[in-house]
Structure 1
């Protein structure tokens, strides 16, 4: 990221790093990093099913409330199957898998595993959307997947748990989500696609309502507050301020900043939960980030647009916000 420079705005010199766009970017990183320990707190008191439904429902209500003021359009009937796929994978399945995985996997470790999500997104895009595979993509994907394996087996084969694979599965369905949003983003804005997907994900999660009611009546207050926090802040507000940041910053700056999500998640998890990551986990996480960084080095314009994929390692809404910002810049 560039060194601080002074710019003139309204006759006053302000630091670039204290401008609203950089503060929005920093806020997004902290919000999405804090989601991992918040999930751990929520799932301990509510269970994965109830936490999944509450987070989706709260975020959906917040986005629907904003929709009239943001001029969000109704989707075309022909796009409903694609929207359903986005909601089922990127919202419902992602939440359930990640929440269940964090019962047995430390929050910081989960953030390192989810960091591999862009790899699956790019590979699926190549398989189903005819996107080219370059040498950097192939090598970067292999490096990132190797780092994922290191994190998963950090405690040795004897310490391996199926929960690690469940978190990796969450990264895979997130990759499906990112690929499925691409055609929709040619016709709708990022906020519109996020709203559609969140509402669809909540609909698919309706079978979880009975379990949610039972769990919520017995859950401690801290778990309920965690669900509200996750729905309103990392999911809803995080998307809004991320869109504000990427619309006003160079793509390379915003992408590079979101590589900070896993390390920040480790710090927040240590302060909040007292989790101390294994040294091997840290090394494996560094390998994952290195692989994703290599994938992001593509230099052509279409590749630069696809480079938005690595930034969604923490939360699914990042990808669609960035693509929307790119299209607005192109039209200008």
Structure 2
């Protein structure tokens, strides 16, 4: 039980930090790369990294009957998500982008209720609303961000496609195991983006070294590691619980944007962070207290 708690904690921290850092990294990389090339380059780096590990660990290929669904999930969770997010961040600042992506847990709750017939308590719905409100305060205090209706739509599409991926991955995640499944997903997502390869080659030649370095960071630290962590959490506690950690990502995104891109943090953002944590307590508090009671009784 203690080891599981430690692994869950490390997984949550990895997701929050590495995905939080991805928002300023994307904004920075877009100085040299188009959204399509950035998405493909990031996935190519992640896929190459996973090929090496898969060879070392002797990860086999999936069953042929599962390949169409695996490719579809890969395109939803990786191709579509990264492409839409990159397009959105060309006109929407990191604070707003991270806020909009944080609708993923809400989409996941609705999808689980509609398609998996899972009952969601009032505390989860209320906690989701309060956390989302806190993130709105936090992200809207990010004074240097830009705003665009089209960019907002693109990021919401990214959030919805990622929610579909989270909710419908469970069967295959259990079947193939965490590492093999994520490997198949990233490979499938990369295949879905290969038609942008000629454009990528052209852009690499003129891109700045710092932008390329940011893409390399995105490819390994913001693509492979958080998805592995999220898959582990999803396997242990469910999709909606796993994606709830996304509520804290805007906090990290704004802080790192302030450090990296010299963007200011206001007092309003501190209040937003407090509200966000209150919402998270409502979502998780009852379950954690129940577990603590069970441990005491044991």
Please confirm whether the aligned pair reaches a TM-score higher than 0.5, indicating the same fold: yes
- Name the counterpart of 2:152: 164
Matched, 1:220 2:197: no
TM-score by length of 1: 0.70
**What is the distance in 1 between the residues matched to 2:208 and 2:88?**
21
**Alignment-derived partner of residue 94 in structure 1:** 81
Counterpart of 1:127 in structure 2 is: 114
SS at 2:57 equivalent: coil
Specify whether residues 123 and 293 from structure 1 end up closer, same or farther in structure 2 by C-alpha distance, changes over 3 A only.
farther
Deviates more, 1:95-104 or 1:125-134: 125-134
Look up the match of 2:69: 82
Please provide the CA RMSD for this pair: 3.9
Aligned partner of 2:32 among 45, 63, 72: 45
- Check whether the contact 1:117–1:172 (CA below 8 A) recurs between aligned residues: yes
Deviates more, 1:186-195 or 1:54-63: 186-195
Find out whether 1:61 has 2:71 as its counterpart. no
CA shift, 1:44, in A, is: 1.7
**Mapped pair 1:183 → 2:161:** no
Aligned partner of 2:260 in structure 1 is 272
1:298-330 residue CA offsets vs partner (Å, 9 max, x unmatched): 639xx99xxxxxxxxxxxxxxxxxxxxxxxxxx
In 2, distance between residues paired with 1:193 and 1:227? 23
State the TM-score, normalized to the length of structure 2: 0.77
Return the alpha-carbon distance in structure 2 between the equivalents of residues 63 and 222 of structure 1: 23
Mapped partners of 2:110, 2:284: distance in 1: 13
Name the stretch that deviates more: 229-238 or 278-287.
Answer: 278-287
Task: Give the counterpart of 1:234 among 212, 222, 230.
Answer: 222
Q: In the alignment, does 2:93 pair up with 1:106?
A: yes
Question: Alpha carbons of 1:257 and 1:115: their partners in 2 closer, same or farther (altered >3 Å)?
Answer: closer
Equivalent-residue separation in structure 1 for 2:190 and 2:49 (angstroms):
12
Larger fraction in helix = 2
- Higher alpha-carbon deviation: 91-100 or 101-110: 101-110
CA distance in 2, matches of 1:282, 1:105: 22
Q: CA deviation at 1:26?
A: 4.7
Contact 1:46/1:219, CA 8 A, preserved across alignment: yes
Gaps of 5+ in 2: 1-5, 292-298
Q: Which residue of 2 aligns with 1:206?
A: 194
Q: Encode CA deviations 1:39-90: one digit per residue, 9 max, x unaligned.
A: 1111121021110000011101111221133343321222223212211111
Write the distance in 1 (CA, Å) between the matches of 2:263 and 2:140.
18
Cα distance in 2 between the residues matched to 1:267 and 1:58: 26
- Segments of 5+ residues of structure 1 without an aligned counterpart are 1-18, 305-332
- Per-residue deviation, 1:272: 0.3
Q: How far does the alpha carbon of each residue in 1:115-160 deviate from its partner, in whole angstroms, 9 at most, with x for none?
A: 22111112111111222232223333444555677678779xxx85
Preserved contact between residue 109 and residue 151 of structure 1 (Cα < 8 Å): no
CA distance in 2, matches of 1:110, 1:282: 18
Residue 195 of structure 1: aligned partner: 183
For residue 249 of structure 2, the aligned residue among 252, 256, 261 is 261
From 109, 127, 149, the counterpart of 1:140: 127
Instruction: Show CA shifts across 1:246-270 (max 9, x none).
Output: 7xx999xx99987543222211100
**Count of aligned residue pairs for this structure pair:** 279
Please state if 1:294 is matched with 2:287: no
